[in-house]
Amino acid sequence: MAGIHKSEVTISQSGKMEHDLLRTVNWNGRFKLWMGFLSLLLLVCLYFYYLQLRDGLSVTGMHDIVSWGIYISNFVFFIAVSLIGMLISSVLGMIGYKWIKPISRIAEIIAVAFALVAGLVIITDMGRPDRLQHLVMYGRIQSPIVWDITIVITYVVLSLLLLYLPLIPDIALCNKKLTGLPAFQRRLYKILSLGWADKPGQFKVIKRYFRILLIMIIPVALAIHTVTSWLFAMTLRPGWDSPIFGPYFVSGAFVAGCAAVIIAMYFFQKNYKLQEYITNRHFDLMGKLLVLVSLVYVYFNINEIIVPAYKFKPFEVEHIGNLFYGHDSALFWMVQTGGLIIPFLLLMIPKMRKPLPITIISVVILVAAWFKRYLIVVPTQLTPYYPIQNVPERYHSYTPTIAEIAITVASFVLVLMIITILSKLFPIIPVWEMKEENENQKQ
C-alpha cells in the first residue's frame, strides 16, 4: 500500500515539475516585445558597423599609439565570461555537487552565447575583415592569434555539444508534451531530438559522452583564456610582458562568469517563476563560489601589480605610475576596490548572499570586470618605450567613439538575443536531470 502511494506522489511531483519547467518554453508577447527591442537596437548598431566598413577603423577612437581599444578588451571580457560553463558544469559537476543541476544549463547557455559572439567581436576589430580567409590560406603557427582562433572554435564546438547533449531528452519531452507549437519548432525538435525514446540504454550513452565532454572542456577552456592572455603576454611591452598572465586571466574569468550566472539566475527565477527550482540556497552557494574565485583573483592581482611596483624597473614605473596615480588611476582604484575587494568582503556576510543583494553586487562586479579588461589592454599602449611625438594631440589618450561603443553594444545585444532565444526554445532547467535527482532523493 505504502509503496504504491509513494510512487503516485513521485509521479504527480514529476508531473508538476514537467509542467513548471516546460511552461517557460513559449513565444509569448513579452518575448516578442523584448526581441523586437533588441532587433531594433541591433539594427541601429549595425548601421555603425556599416560606417566602419565604409570608412575604415578611422571611425573608432583608436590610433597608432592605442591600436587596440575596446573591441579587444571586450573580446577578452567575452572570452572570460564564457569560461563559467566549464567551471560550473565540468569542475563542480565532476566533483559531484548536485546543487549545480538546475543552474548548469544557464551557465552553458552563457558560455555558448559569449564564446560565439567573441568570435564576431574579434572580426569587428580587423582592419580588413574581407581578408578573413587569409587566416586559413596563410595561417602561421607561430602567431598567438592563430592559436587563439583555433582554440576559440574548438571551445565553441565543445560548449555547443555540452549544451546540446543533455538537452536531447528534454527536446524529445518538449516535442511530446507541448501543444500548439509552430510547425518550424516541431520540425526543429524532431530533428534535434535524434529519435530519442527515453530508453535506459540511450541515457547510458548520453551520460557517458557527457562525461567525456566534461573532461575535454577543462583543458580547452583553460587554454582559450590562457592563449587570449598570451596575445598580450607574448609581447615585450611593460604591463603585458608578464609570465603569470595566463592564470591571472583565468582566475579573473571565473569572477566575471560567476557574476554573469548570478544575474541570469535572478532574471530567470523572477521572470520564469522558478523560485522552487532556483532557490535562495543556490544564490547562497553561488555567492560562496564567487568569494572563493574572487579570493584567488585578488591573489593574482597582488602578484601582478605588487611585484613590478616593488621593483620599479625603468619602463614599468611609467605604467604602474599611470595606474596608481596617473591618467587611469581613478578607474583603476574604482575597479580594484569597488569592483573586487568590497564586493568580495560584502559577500562574506550571509545576508548579502540573498537573491537581490547578490544580484546587485554581481552587476557591479560584472561592470568592473569589463573595465578591468580595458585597464589591461589600453594603458600599456599609452606608455610606450619611446615618447609619443609628431602626432596629433589625441594620440596621447584614448576615447572610444560613438561608433565604437555602438558596435560594442551590438555584441551585447547579440549575446542577449542568443540567451533569450535558447531559453525560450528549450527548458532553462534540465527537466530529466531534475526528475532523476528527485528520484534519487526519494530512495
Ranges assigned E (strand) in 326-433: none
Provide the minimum distance between the beta carbon of 143 and another protein in the complex, in angstroms, as a whole number: 4
> Which span sits near another protein by CB under 8 A: 84-92, 279-287, 326-334, 390-398?
390-398
Spatial distance between the Cα atoms of 103 and 274, rounded to a whole number of angstroms: 11
Binding residue for another protein (CB under 8 A) from 46, 65, 160, 188? 65
> Which span sits near another protein by CB under 8 A: 36-44, 384-392, 410-418, 425-433?
384-392
Residue 55 interacts with another protein (CB under 8 A): yes or no: yes
Query: Which is closer to another protein, CB of 194 or CB of 391?
Result: 391
Burial class (CB in 10 A: 0-12, 13-18, 19+), 127: exposed
Residue 391 interacts with another protein (CB under 8 A): yes or no: yes
Spatial distance between the Cα atoms of 304 and 380, rounded to a whole number of angstroms: 14
DSSP, res 383: S
Provide the minimum distance between the beta carbon of 413 and another protein in the complex, in angstroms, as a whole number: 24
Residue window 121-150: x/- pattern of binding to another protein, with contact defined by CB under 8 A: ----xxxx--xx-xx-xxxx-xxxxx--x-
Count of residues that bind another protein according to CB under 8 A: 46
Burial class (CB in 10 A: 0-12, 13-18, 19+), 197: exposed
Interaction residues for another protein, span 145-174 (CB under 8 A): 145-146, 149
Interaction residues for another protein, span 203-232 (CB under 8 A): 231-232
Residue 396 interacts with another protein (CB under 8 A): yes or no: no
Provide the minimum distance between the beta carbon of 115 and another protein in the complex, in angstroms, as a whole number: 19
Q: Which DSSP string corresponds to 68-120?
A: S-HHHHHHHHHHHHHTHHIIIIIIIHHHT-STTHHHHHHHHHHHHHHHHHHHH
Rounded to 5 degrees, φ, ψ at 225 are -85, -30
Residue 57 interacts with another protein (CB under 8 A): yes or no: yes
- 92, HSE (Cβ side, Cα atoms, 13 Å): 21
Residue window 319-338: x/- pattern of binding to another protein, with contact defined by CB under 8 A: --------------------
Spatial distance between the Cα atoms of 335 and 330, rounded to a whole number of angstroms: 9
Q: Contact, 108 vs 137, CB < 8 A?
A: no
Binding residue for another protein (CB under 8 A) from 234, 342, 352, 364? 234
Residue 243 interacts with another protein (CB under 8 A): yes or no: no
Spatial distance between the Cα atoms of 97 and 432, rounded to a whole number of angstroms: 17
> Which span sits near another protein by CB under 8 A: 20-28, 38-46, 54-62, 244-252?
54-62
352 in the Ramachandran plot: left (φ > 0), alpha (ψ -120 to 50) or beta?
alpha
Residue 317 interacts with another protein (CB under 8 A): yes or no: no
Burial class (CB in 10 A: 0-12, 13-18, 19+), 105: buried
Residue 312 interacts with another protein (CB under 8 A): yes or no: no
> Which span sits near another protein by CB under 8 A: 83-91, 301-309, 325-333, 382-390?
382-390
Binding residue for another protein (CB under 8 A) from 395, 397, 405, 421? 395
- 365, HSE (Cβ side, Cα atoms, 13 Å): 33
> Which span sits near another protein by CB under 8 A: 2-10, 65-73, 292-300, 359-367?
65-73
> Which span sits near another protein by CB under 8 A: 22-30, 60-68, 98-106, 170-178?
60-68
Provide the minimum distance between the beta carbon of 60 and another protein in the complex, in angstroms, as a whole number: 8
Q: What is the dihedral of CA 401, 406, 409, 410, to 10 degrees?
A: -140
Provide the minimum distance between the beta carbon of 272 and another protein in the complex, in angstroms, as a whole number: 41
Interaction residues for another protein, span 344-373 (CB under 8 A): none
Q: Which DSSP string corresponds to 198-260?
A: --HHHHHHHHHHHHHHHHHHHHHHHHHHHHHHHHHHTS--TTT--TTHHHHHHHHHHHHHHHH
Residue 68 interacts with another protein (CB under 8 A): yes or no: yes
Provide the minimum distance between the beta carbon of 246 and another protein in the complex, in angstroms, as a whole number: 17
Provide the minimum distance between the beta carbon of 401 and another protein in the complex, in angstroms, as a whole number: 12
Interaction residues for another protein, span 263-302 (CB under 8 A): none
Residue 385 interacts with another protein (CB under 8 A): yes or no: yes
Cell of residue 215, nine digits:
573532461
Give residue 183's identity as a one-letter amino acid code. Answer: A
Number of H helices, E strands in the chain: 19, 0
Tell me the C-alpha to C-alpha distance, in Å, between residue 424 and each of 5, 127, 178, 221. 35, 36, 13, 27
Binding residue for another protein (CB under 8 A) from 17, 24, 25, 63? 63
Residues that bind another protein (CB under 8 A): 55-58, 60, 62-65, 67-68, 125-128, 131-132, 134-135, 137-140, 142-146, 149, 231-232, 234-237, 381, 384-392, 395
